[in-house]
Amino acid sequence: MTFKDNFSALLALALSLQIFTAPPVKAQNNTVLAALQKELDRSLTRLKAIKETPVYFLGYRLYDIESLNLSSQYGAINVDAQPKHSRVLDIDLRVGSPQLDNTHRLRDDPLGSSTSSQTSVFIPIENDELALRTAIWIRTENAFKNAQKRYILVKANQDLQAEEEDNSADFSLEKPTTYTGESKSFSVDKKAWESKLRRLSSIYKNNPHVLHSHVDFSVTKTHRYLINSEGSKVEDENIHYHLSTTAEVIANDGMRLWLYDGAEAKTAEELPTEEQFSQTIHKLADSLEQLRTAPLAEPYTGPAILNSKAAGVYFHETLGHRVEGARQKDMDDGRTFAKKLGQRILPTFISVVDDPTTEQLKSGHLNGSYKIDDEGIPAQKVTVVDHGILKTFLTGRSPVIGCPNSNGHGRSSPAYAPIARQGNLMVIADKSIPYTDLRSALITEAKNQDKPYGLIFEQIAGGFTFTQTATPQTFKLLPLLVRRVYVDGRPDELIRGVDLVGTPLSSLENIISAGDDIDTFNGTCGAPSGWVPVSATAPSLLIKTIEVERKANTQQKLPVLPAPITESKK
């Protein structure tokens, strides 16, 4: 029996025992890398010789993805999910020259405005070199023909449109990177996790007002191969665990209210224990019950504290997206900070860095850490704002004025073209005060503004921001837990139905002071290059003026029938 047959038999046995095992992929590497390298060399040699539209850069990224996703509701598994295995090939093929190539944005052409030079396809998951090379060859051929067509459109578009404000090159030439990460193996006891999820999700049965709830577990192992015509060769692996819960209730006026909590980790041991996550669920369910009967928020402008995790999300949306390099040269983008290099955009006691090279802080695991970005450039710590002064942008291999080279922030998910993205955004305050003093300062500021109360944002689910010129240059955050802090000494009051809105320039200038605490919000961020893991770390912040508006209300009637658990208890 061959090694391959042996492995297949072991895998089948593991699945029959409900054990999900993802072995090291080192035994597969020679075949996959050989296929990629041979097709890259063969394609480049021939396609560079085409005179009219020669290829000047060719790169392949292949993602070998193994995953398991489980979900449970009301003490039962939703779907008997089985482990999944797939491979995605991304091709970055460029014709023309680094100054102007087929990726250049087409202006005034909504049907052809994509700057992607990528072709993404699923390819064989077995290690048959000829099968892999055939798939790569066909996709490279298609990518080349599409690049030729688009390059013609790009040159015509340049002749017909006004000169661009930022005439930086389309692509930066960089030194090749060679990196081989540690090969990892792991196994997940699927049956044990299903039992654990059943026990955890059954906790919500004790809360008859909870309509929808689930507890989810997922683990994904991604083995990445990256090679390009510059000589870069990168091979690494990433394992990502996720445990989360979401629950929903309806208030008496029909407003749907939900809360979320979860944990992200690179090893199973870093996840909360069952007992710890059980406490998380109980706390979340209790908070939902309080929210259900809480008073409805009113539109409000005034002072507020964003607790540390909420402050991280706030900076991610208001500043983080607007300092991503590719946005600075897009004529259809608002380019809020494009011409503000060297100018003050924040209070002088605030600095902001993005450091994907840091994996852990006192606040915990950082979701946005990586060693090499998806364009083959080593990750770098970047000081974006230094004591209030904007110093630079986060860049990939698409240069912008003042930033001719990549600083290792070209990121994407499989099947998307990389662009400059955030990784681990960190807000650093030079001067800070204890949280109790920050709360006192909130009350004082509310009195100064003749407001009956200030607000504390304890938890935010996430948010979104608009950066295109065709839309208002605003952001919206989606708070989950918000409290009123009354200036007359009344107890704090939980409120519901709040959305935090604003414009970034005025909002960022309104930061008054920071707390001496820090915490990290871990999550995933969606943008034109797909969904990538990110983190945002910040202290609690006191903001002089924020604006909130009422959340949309579905005005849905309460359930006619009581929950089955209620009648069974009777």
Phi, psi of 12 (to 5 degrees): -60, -40
| 9 three-class SS | helix
Distance separating alpha carbons of residues 95 and 48, to the nearest angstrom: 9
CATH architecture type of domain 25-238? 2-Layer Sandwich (3.30)
% of the chain beyond a pLDDT of 90: 68
DSSP of 150-208: HHHHHHHHHHHSPPPS----S-------EEEPPP--EEEEHHHHHHHHHHHHGGGGG-T
Q: Sorting pLDDT into bands at 50, 70 and 90, what band is 225?
A: very high
Distance separating alpha carbons of residues 203 and 282, to the nearest angstrom: 7
Phi, psi of 322 (to 5 degrees): -80, -5
Distance separating alpha carbons of residues 409 and 393, to the nearest angstrom: 10
How crowded is residue 475: how many other Cβ atoms within 10 Å of its Cβ?
23
Amino acid identity of 312? G
- Give the residue, 13 or 114, on which the prediction is more confident: 114
Q: Sorting pLDDT into bands at 50, 70 and 90, what band is 566?
A: low
pLDDT tens-digit map of 46-99 = 998 887 788 999 999 999 999 999 999 999 998 767 889 999 999 999 999 999
Cα–Cα distances (Å) from 217 to 18, 97, 220, 389, in that order, read 15, 46, 10, 42
Q: Tell me the mean pLDDT in the region 335-340.
A: 84
pLDDT tens-digit map of 493-518 = 999 988 888 887 888 999 999 999 99
Tally of helices (H runs) and strands (E runs) in the chain: 9, 27
Q: Is the pLDDT of residue 460 over 80?
A: yes
Cα–Cα distances (Å) from 328 to 104, 424, 508, in that order, read 14, 20, 19
CA atoms within 13 A on the CB side of 194: 14
Distance separating alpha carbons of residues 260 and 270, to the nearest angstrom: 19
The pTM score is 0.89
* pLDDT computed for residue 3 by the predictor: 32
The DSSP output letter for 52 is S
* HEC string for 215-240: EEEEEEEEEEEEEECCCCEEEEEEEE
- Give the residue, 4 or 179, on which the prediction is more confident: 179
Distance separating alpha carbons of residues 417 and 118, to the nearest angstrom: 6
Contacts of 339 (CB under 8 A, 6+ apart): none
Strands (E), 44-165: 55-73, 76-77, 84-95, 118-122
Cα–Cα distances (Å) from 53 to 118, 265, 535, in that order, read 17, 46, 41
Domain ranges of the chain: 25-238, 300-550
Least reliable range by pLDDT among 230-234, 334-338, 347-351, 426-430:
334-338
The DSSP output letter for 323 is G
Q: Is the pLDDT of residue 115 over 90?
A: no
The torsion region of residue 381 among left (phi > 0), alpha (psi -120 to 50) and beta comes to beta
Q: Are strands 389-390 and 453-465 parallel, antiparallel or unpaired?
A: unpaired
pLDDT tens-digit map of 170-192 = 999 999 999 999 887 778 899 99
Q: Is the pLDDT of residue 112 over 50?
A: no
